[in-house]
Amino acid sequence: MPELALLGGPKTINKPFPPYNTIGEEEIEAVTAVLKRGELSKFFGSWNERFYGGPEVLEFERQWAEFFGVKHAVSFNSLTSGLVAAVGAVGIEPGEEVIVSPWTMSATATAALVWNAVPVFADIEEETFNLDPLSVEKSVTPRTKAIIVTDIFGHAADLEGIRAVAKKHGLKVIEDAAQAPAAKYLGKYVGTWGDIGGFSLNYHKHIHTGEGGVCVTDDDDISEKMKSIRNHAEAVVEGKKQSDISNMIGFNFRMGEIEAAIGKIQLNKLKSLTDMRSKTGAVLSEALKGLKGLKTPIVKKNCTHVFYVYPLVLDDSIEALREKIVDALQEEGVPWIYGGYLNLHLLPMYQKKIAYGSKGFPWSSDVYKGDVSYAKGICPVAESLKDRGLICLQICQHYYTEEETELVIEAFQKVWKNLDKL
C-alpha cells in the first residue's frame, strides 16, 4: 500500500489542474465589436431613452429571460447589487425582518441591512444544506417581510416548502441561485420559484462576465422597481410618473456593454457546462459512496445538481479526523479541498450587532421592535456540520476531465486506506 504523501510517500496528483476558463474566441470577438463601437455603456442616470441601457444589455436581458422562461430579467454589476435591489423592490420597511440561511455568501444577509431591515437566521437541512422550511416557520415573527432562500452548492432548496411558509404568512420570496444556474426543481429552473430570483456572473461561477449578476421576475412592478434602484431611482421617479416612491433610493448597479456582450455568449454555454458538472458529481459519488464513514451528496427526486461545490459529510465514526483527512487530501494534490463552511450569524457584525455607526443600528433603532438572537446554538445543524462534519471539494474551479476525476477518486481511496495512520 503506497504511503500517504502527508507521511512522505508519493503524491497521487503531481501537477496542478488547469483553471476553469469558459472564455473563448467568441467572447473575444464580441468584446472587440463593442470596443470598436466605442460605446462601453449607454446608460443614462436620468429619464430618457437610454435609462434602461444599451443594445447589448437589453439583448442580454431578453435572452436571459427567454432561457429561464420568465417575463423579466434585470442585469446588474453583481448579484450583490441585484439582491440589494431585490430587497428594496419587494417593499421592505426599516425595522422589518428578513429570514436567511447561515450558509450563504455574506451579501445574501447584508442585502437586508442595506435597507435598515434585520436578518434572522434559520437553520439548514442536513441533506441539502439549504434552508429548512420547518426552521423558517419557527423564525417567522410579526415583523417578518421576506425570505431569502439560497440554492447552495448547486442543489435546489425545498422551494415548495419555503413557498408554503411564505404563502401562509404573506411573505415575499427572493431566491439566491448564484451557485445553481440551470439546476432544476420539479422540472422548473431554480431561481424562478420566488417573487425574484438571482444569478451570479462572478468570475468563479459556472459562467461569468468577470463580475455581474441577473435578477428575474414575472412581476412587472417589481421589475421596474429593480431597474429604478439600479440606476439612480430618485432622479427618475418624476419623469417615469412613479406614484410609489418608497425605497426609490438610487445606486449605480449597472452592467456595461462589454459584460453584457460576454454574457450572451456565456449563456449559450451554460447548459453544456452544468451538464458536465452534474456528470462529474455523479461519477465522484458512484466511486466514493463505499468509503467508510463518508456520506456523498444526495440529489433529491425531481431535482438536478450542478455541483458548484461537491460537499461530503463525515459521520460520527471519523469526524474527529476531519482536519487530518483534509490535510492528507491536500498533500495528495487534491485542489480546492477544505473543511467546514461559513456560518454567517457568527460573524463579528452579528455577534456584536454593529453595522451602521458604532451604536448598534439598526438593531438598536426605535423602529425595530424585535430582539433577534445570533448566539451560537440557534442553527445547530449548520454549526455542527461546520465545526465537525463537512468537507467541501470546490470542483467549479476546474473542468474536471475524466482523467482528473479519476485522480481525485484515487487520492480519496488512498487516504481512506490509510485512515488508521491518521
Is the pLDDT at 122 greater than 90? The verdict is yes
Amino acid sitting at position 225: K
Question: pLDDT (tens digit, 9 = 90+) per residue, 8-34?
Answer: 999 999 999 999 999 999 999 999 999
Residue of 239, 326, 309, 279 whose CA lies nearest to 46: 239
Share of the chain above pLDDT 90, in %: 97
Of the options 3.90.650.10, 3.40.640.10, 3.30.565.10, 3.30.70.1560, the CATH number for the domain spanning 25-266: 3.40.640.10
Is the pLDDT at 388 greater than 90? The verdict is no
Q: How far apart are CA 226 and CA 231, in angstroms?
A: 9
Question: pLDDT (tens digit, 9 = 90+) per residue, 129-177?
Answer: 999 999 999 999 999 999 999 999 999 999 999 999 999 999 999 999 9
> What's the pLDDT at 250?
83
Over residues 52-64, mean pLDDT: 98
pLDDT confidence of 125, banded at 50, 70, 90? very high
Q: What is the pTM of this model?
A: 0.97
Q: How far apart are CA 400 and CA 398, in angstroms?
A: 6
Domain ranges (residues) in the chain: 25-266
Question: pLDDT (tens digit, 9 = 90+) per residue, 216-247?
Answer: 999 999 999 999 999 999 999 999 998 999 99
